[in-house]
Structure 1
Amino acid sequence: MTSSEITEAEGAVDTARAGSVRIDHVIHRYGRGGEAFTAVGPVDLTVPAGEFLVLVGASGCGKSTLLRLIAGFERPTQGSVRVSGAEPRPGEAAGVVFQSPRLFPWRTVRGNVDLALRFAGVPRAQWPERRAELLARVGLEGTERRRTWEISGGQQQRVAIARALAAENPLLLLDEPFAALDALTRERLQEDVRRVTERTGRTAVFVTHSADEAVFLGSRIVVLTKSPGTVALDLPITLPRGDIEAEELRGSREFAELRARVSHAVKAAAAA
């Protein structure tokens, strides 16, 4: 076997690992005939298991479309998407957190998490322990009996994250989950998500408009061009991901330099 064949085989094994994502020459269009609109493509991306990939770009560049393709909510017009080595199936390929929490308002926090545990196939006898673990993981101890309309927007989003983690899917997809929140709550939840993914080792794909959020969260950042979205920049982030305070990280020179580089790339890609 040649060295190139060995490399290819190693790559194939890696992209079949639980939580890995492979996007091969994907193009996605909406509409038909003369009214067809190309939203994305062509895009080629490989996301190894355990990576925190952030997709960033201007509105309409195809970030959310790519996320829906990875989740299995849509199938690409051309090319292929593989999650853990297989075609993604909605509800099975990944846990998904949307911009809106999308909770059931007639249920308590406990009821919302229990419903997720039920659909995840967790035995009922294990619900109390798993629920307590999930709520503790997102900092919501003591809220089990509260209705969703009795808690803040930030707490509602934490419930949504706990619900997405319930199935223990190795992949977590987040579509601008903090966009509607105030700055302080947004920063706190960024820290929560960063901490949770570090502890669980899950792969994450996160969509945002914010260069600051992208640099804080990502171990890798992909900037997309304006529609149809293609890869304008693929940037590994080498900032420390553990044993460092959030304020120290945000205040570092390296963070500022990376934020400026990503911001410039987003503006350039939108203007091209």
Structure 2
Amino acid sequence: MPSHELTASRDEADAAGAGAVRLDHVTHRYGRGGEALTAVGPVDLTVPAGEFLVLVGASGCGKSTLLRLIAGFEQPTHGSVRVSGTGPRPGRTAGVVFQTPRLFPWRTVRGNIDLALRYAGVDRALWPRCRAELLGRVGLEGTEKRRVWEISGGQQQRVAIARALAAENPLLLLDEPFAALDALTRERLQEDVRRVTDRTGRTTVFVTHSADEAVFLGSRIVVLTRSPGTVALDLPITLPRGDIGAEELRGSPEFAELRTHVSHAVKAAAAA
């Protein structure tokens, strides 16, 4: 078999795995006629099952648009998006965490998680065990009875992550979920997300404008150009993920080198 056919076959297999994502010649525009604005594209991208992909770039480069396309909240103007080999279905093919927690303030932590379990079709008899497991994953044991306004912003975002994990779909999408948090809370939640996704093996697509956050979290980084967003850099990250502490990783020369490389790439892509 010719080499290009072998490559195509591997791409198709990668795109069909549980939680895998494939974007083929994707372009997305807002508006019509002469007032149409091309937000992203064309973009070709394959995210194998289990990968932690970080989309990074300057504000307005189309990162969040790509995430919405993968979630199925919007349809591409041209091209196709596939998740696990089929078209994405909102609320079904991926768990999504937004920039703000978007919790129901009149419900307790338990009520917010239980609602997610109900929508996920989990047997009601299993809710207590599933809820305890989810809250344990994000370090919120003992908070079940607390109201949303009784917990901190960082804790609220942890509830949002637990809620996104409630459905046993293999894809997790996060759109700058820590942007509004203080630096210390942000670092702690980065560590939580890294640990949880490594443990569950879910495919993850994470949007950020921070080179530091991208290098810490990702097993692969894609830098987007300014609008319309296209791929300026596709970089695999070979830093260890399971056998090194967060502080040791952040303090390593390899981390600093990659952070500088990605930062320069983001600035160059924004200026091009």
TM-score when scaled to structure 1? 0.99
CA displacement at 1:169 relative to structure 2: 1.1
1:175 partner amino acid: D
1:69 corresponds to 2:69: yes
For 1:46-125, list aligned pairs within 5 A.
Answer: 46-125=46-125
Aligned to 1:142: 142
Q: Quick one: distance in 1 between partners of 2:193 and 2:45? A: 23
Would you say the 8 A contact 2:51–2:220 is kept in 1?
A: yes
Aligned to 1:9: 9
Q: Quick one: distance in 1 between partners of 2:265 and 2:194? A: 23
Secondary structure of the 2:27 match is strand
1:161 corresponds to 2:161: yes
User: Which stretch shifts more, 244-253 or 12-21?
Assistant: 12-21
Q: Quick one: distance in 1 between partners of 2:38 and 2:78? A: 11
CA displacement at 1:3 relative to structure 2: 4.6
CA displacement at 1:20 relative to structure 2: 0.2
2:122 partner amino acid: V
Q: Quick one: distance in 2 between partners of 1:232 and 1:12? A: 23
Q: Quick one: distance in 2 between partners of 1:257 and 1:141? A: 37
CA displacement at 1:12 relative to structure 2: 1.4
CA displacement at 1:2 relative to structure 2: 4.2
TM-score when scaled to structure 2? 0.99
Ranges in structure 1 where 5+ consecutive residues have no aligned partner: none
CA displacement at 1:243 relative to structure 2: 1.4
Q: Quick one: distance in 1 between partners of 2:49 and 2:100? A: 27
Secondary structure of the 1:45 match is strand
Secondary structure of the 2:260 match is helix
Q: Quick one: distance in 1 between partners of 2:40 and 2:88? A: 18
Runs of 4+ in structure 1 deviating by more than 4 angstroms, as ranges, are none
2:42 partner amino acid: P
Q: Quick one: distance in 2 between partners of 1:235 and 1:10? A: 19
Secondary structure of the 1:15 match is helix
Q: Quick one: distance in 2 between partners of 1:136 and 1:38? A: 42
Aligned to 1:262: 262
Q: Paired residues, what number?
A: 272
CA displacement at 1:11 relative to structure 2: 2.5
Secondary structure of the 1:90 match is coil
1:57 partner amino acid: G
- For residues 209-232 of structure 1, the C-alpha deviation after alignment (integer angstroms, 9 at most, x for no partner) is 100000000000000000000001
